[in-house]
Amino acid sequence: MSYYLGSFLLIAIGLYTVIIKKNLIKIVIGLNFIASGVNLLIVSIGYVKNGTAPIFSKIGINPSAMVDPIPQALTLTAIVIDASELALAVAFVVLLYRHYGTLDIKKIRSLKW
C-alpha cells in the first residue's frame, strides 16, 4: 500500500506544484512529478507478491510466479511519452523566456478573455 501512497503523493505534489508555483521550470518539474507518480502507480499495480521479472531467461521457469508484464510494457510507453512532452515543454519555456523575459507565469498573460 505504501507504494500506492507514494505514487499518489507524487501525483498530489505534482498537481500542487502546477497550481501554486509561479516559476515555469517548477511547473514543468511538477508535470514530471505527476508523470513519475503515474508510472510508479502503473508498475506497482503489476506487482504480484513474490513475483519475478517476466523473462524466461532459462527454460522451465514457472510463469505463475511472474509479475504482470502488461503494466511494465505500459510504463515503457508512458515514460517515452512523458519524456517527449517534457522536451516540448522545456522548448516552450525557453521560447517563453525569450519573448517575455521572465519565468513568472503570472506575468505571461497576454492572452486572456
Partner 1 sequence: MVNLANPILLIVIPLLFVFLIAFSSAFSKSAAKYLPIIAFGINVVVAMLLVPEVLKNGLVLSTTAGFKPPIAIDMIVDKLALFLVIIASVLGFVVSIYNVAYIDEEPEEKFYALFTLLITGIIWMIITGDLFNLFVAFEVTSIAAFGLVGFHRDKGSVEAGFKYLVMGAIGGSLLLVGIIMLYAATGTLNIIDVAQKSAELTFQQKFLAYALIFVGLGIEGALFPLNAWLPDAHPAAPSSVSSILSGIMTTAAIYAIIRITNIIFDYNQIYLFLMFFALLTLIFGEIAAYYQKDIKRMLAYSTIGQTGLFFFAFTIHSTNGLQGAFLQIINHSVSKSMLFLVVGAMIVQVGSRNIEDFVGLGRKMKVSSFFLAIGMFSLMGMPPFFGFWSKLKIIFAALQHSNALMIGSVVIILLMSVVEGAYFFKLLQMMFFGKAEQDREIKEASFGMLVPVVILGFILLFISFYPTPVLDFAHQAASDLMNKNYINLALKLGGL
Partner 2 sequence: MIRKIVYSIFLATIVLSLVMFFAAFPFGQNKMSVGEYYLNHGVAQTGASNIVTSVVVDYRGFDTLGEVSVLFGAAAGVAILFFVLGENRRKRREQVAPNFIVRVGSRIIFPFILLFGTYIFIHGHLTPGGGFQGGAIIASGFLLLYLAYPGTTVNRSRLSMVEGLAGITFIVLGLYGLLMPESSFLYNFLPKGELNALLSSGILPIIYIAIGFKVAAEFAGIIDDMMCEVICRGGEK
Partner 3 sequence: MNMSLELLLATPFIGGLLTYIGGKVHRWVRNLIAVLFSLATVGEMAMYYNTTFKGVVWGSLFGSNLVLQTNPITWLFLFIVTAISLLVIVFSIDDMKKEEDEIVLDSYYMQLLFVEGAMVGIVLAGDLITFFMFWEIMSWTSYFLIVHGGKKSMAAGYKYIIMSVIGAYAMFIAIAMLYAKTHSLVYSDVALALSQASPSFIIWTVVLLSVGFFVKAAVMPLHTWLPDAHSEAPSPVSPLLSGVLIKMGAYGLFIVFYGLLSVNLAKNIMPSVFSTPILLYIIQWLAALSIVLATFLAIMQEDAKRLLAYSSVSQIGYVVLGLATGTSLGVAGGLFHALNHAIFKGLLFLAVGAVIYRTGTRNMSELGGLVKKMPFTFTALLLGIIALAGVPPLNGFVSKWMIYEALIQKKEVFLLIMAFVGSTGAFLYVYRLIHSLFLGQLPEKYENVKDVPILMQIPIWILALSTIVYGIFPGLAMDVIVKGMKLFGFTPIAYNLFGFPEGTAMGSLTVINIAAVLMTAFVAVFIIFILFPKTRQVSQYDNYASGQELTPDFKYNYSFGFYMSFGRVIKPILSMSIERVYNYWIDAFKIFGDYYMRRIYTGNLETYNSYIVIVVTIAAAAVLLGGKLW
Size of the site for partner 3 (CB under 8 A): 14
| Range in contact with partner 3 (rule: CB under 8 A) among 47-55, 64-72, 80-88, 105-113 | 105-113
**Which residues of this chain interact with partner 1, rule CB under 8 A?**
11, 14-15, 18, 24, 27, 31, 34-35, 38, 41-42, 45, 70-71, 74, 77-78, 81, 84-85, 88-89, 92-93, 95-96, 99-100, 108, 110-111, 113
CA-to-CA distance for 69 and 57, rounded, in angstroms?
15
Q: Which of 6, 9, 13, 15 binds partner 3 (CB under 8 A)?
A: 15
Q: Count CA within 13 A, CB hemisphere, residue 4.
A: 4
Angle at 70 between CA 59 and CA 78, to 5 degrees: 130
Contacting residues for 40 by C-beta, under 8 A, at least 6 apart:
3, 6, 7, 10
Contacting residues for 12 by C-beta, under 8 A, at least 6 apart:
37
Binding site for partner 2 (CB under 8 A): 1-5, 8-9, 11-12, 15-16, 19-20, 44-49, 53-57, 59, 63-64, 66, 68-70, 72-74, 76-77, 79-81, 83-85, 87-88, 90-92, 94-95, 98, 101
